[in-house]
């Protein structure tokens, strides 16, 4: 079956690829574009490890077809830092020990950024519900929530 040619923007860079119609955006990112920062934890939208933003909206890339990226903007974990300047979320995750094994971390960072972009002063409960779509099995979420809170505070100061 002939593939489909897709032209899109990934982390601000013009990107083109060919994929089969049935391939997910996650499969395209990882297997065709080498962007392995987004992870497959379940493939069915239950764990959030594959979280990216699509035209600024937080989505599970395992539930988006690669062909749907045509003409749209995709942002992944690889684009979160600005060159060698980490995003405050990234530095705070390290500082607050908000990661152990790290497999869920890219998904949490993307989801946390999506939260803080729309709600710069979230309550603890708002943080927890906004991140309910991201599973972590190592931390019990405690230090993750603290890192997001601290970042919200840091960003509000700026």
Partner 1 sequence: MANDTKFRNRQFKSVGTRPPRPDGLDKVTGRAKFGADTFAPGQLIGLVLRSPHAHAEIKRIDTSKAEKLNGVKAVITSKDLPDLTNGDRDLYDTLENCMARDRALYDGHAVAAVAAIDAPTARKALKLIRVTYKLLPHVTDVDEAMKPNAPLVQPRVYTRGVSPKPKSPSNVAKVSEFGHGDVEAGFKAADVVVEKSYKTEQAHQGYIEPHACLASVGPDGHGELWVTTQGHFIYRNTCASLLGMEVAKLKVTSSEIGGGFGGKTHVWMEPIALALSRKANRPVKLEMTRDEVFRSTGPTSSTSIDVKIGVKKNGKITAASAHLRYQDGAFPGIWAMLGAMTAYACYDLKNVKTVGYDVLVNRPKVAAYRAPSAPMAAFAIESTINEVAAEIGMDPVDFRIKNAAKEGTKSSYGPTYGPIGIGPTLAAVKKHPHMRAKLEKNQGRGMACGFWFNFGGETCTDLNIGVDGTVTLTVGTIDVGGARASLSLIAAEELGIPYESVKCNITDTGSLGHNDMTDGSRGTFSSGMSTIFAARNAIEELCQRAADTWEISVKDVVWDDGKATAKGKKHKKLKPLSLDELAGGSPNTGGPIAGHSQIVADGAGVSFASHICDIEVDPETSATKVVRYTVVQDAGKAIHPDYVEGQFQGGAAQGIGWALNEEYIYDENGRLQNPGFLDYRVPVCSDLPFIDTQILEIPNPNHPYGIRGVGETSIVPPLAAIGNALSDVAGVRMTHVPMSPPRIRKAIKENQA
Partner 2 sequence: MKYQTPSTTKEAAVLIKRERGKAFVLAGGTDLMVRMKTGLTEPDLVVDIKHIPAMQSIKKSATGFRIGAAVSAAEMGENAPLKKAWPGVVESANLIGSDQIQNRCTVAGNLCNASPAADAVPALIAAGAKANVVGPQRRRTVSVEKVITGPGTTSLAKGEVVEAITLPKRPPKSGDAYLRFIPRSEMDIAVVGVGVSLTLGNNSVIKSARVALGAVAPTPLLVSAAGKAIVGTKLDKAALNKLAEACSAACNPIDDKRGTVEFRTEVAGVLAQRAAKIAYKRAGGK
- When binding is defined by CB under 8 A, the residue of 8, 51, 92, 151 that contacts partner 2 is 51
**Who contacts 91 (Cβ-Cβ below 8 Å, separation ≥6)?**
none
Q: Does 28 bind partner 2 (CB under 8 A)?
A: no
Cα–Cα distance, 55 to 5 (Å, whole number): 19
User: What distances in angstroms separate CA 139 from CA 7, 35, 96, 114, 131, one per listed residue?
Assistant: 38, 25, 11, 21, 14
Binding of residue 64 to partner 2 (CB under 8 A): yes
Smallest separation, CB 150 to partner 2 (Å): 21
* Residue 129 in tokens: 């519900």
- Toward partner 2, which CB reaches closer, 82 or 125? 125
Cβ contact 106:38 at 8 Å: yes
**Candidates 64-72, 113-121, 137-145, 150-158; binding stretch for partner 1 (CB under 8 A):** 137-145
DSSP one-letter string for 88-136: HHHHHHHHTT--SS-SSHHHHHHHHHHHHHH-SS--HHHHHHHTTTS--
Instruction: Using CB under 8 A, list all residues that contact partner 2.
Output: 1, 4, 20-22, 24, 43-46, 48, 51, 54, 57-60, 62-65, 67-68, 111, 114-115, 129-130, 132-134
Q: Which residues bind partner 1 (CB under 8 A)?
A: 20, 22, 30-31, 34-44, 46-47, 49, 76-78, 80-81, 86, 90, 93-97, 99-106, 109, 125, 127-129, 131-146
């Amino acid at each position: 079956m002939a593939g489909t040619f897709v032209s899109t923007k990934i982390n601000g860079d013009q990107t083109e690829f060919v994929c089969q119609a049935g391939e997910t955006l996650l499969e395209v990112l990882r297997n065709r574009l080498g962007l392995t920062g987004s992870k497959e934890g379940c493939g069915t939208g239950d764990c959030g490890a594959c979280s990216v933003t699509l035209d600024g909206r937080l989505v599970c890339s395992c539930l988006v077809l690669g062909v749907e990226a045509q003409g749209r903007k995709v942002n992944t974990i690889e684009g979160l830092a600005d060159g060698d300047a980490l995003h405050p979320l990234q530095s705070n995750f390290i500082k607050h020990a908000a990661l152990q094994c790290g497999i869920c971390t890219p998904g949490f960072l993307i989801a946390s950024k999506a939260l803080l972009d729309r709600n710069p002063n979230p309550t603890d409960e708002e943080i927890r519900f906004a991140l309910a779509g991201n599973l972590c099995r190592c931390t019990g979420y405690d230090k993750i929530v603290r890192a997001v809170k601290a970042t919200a505070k840091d960003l509000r100061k700026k």
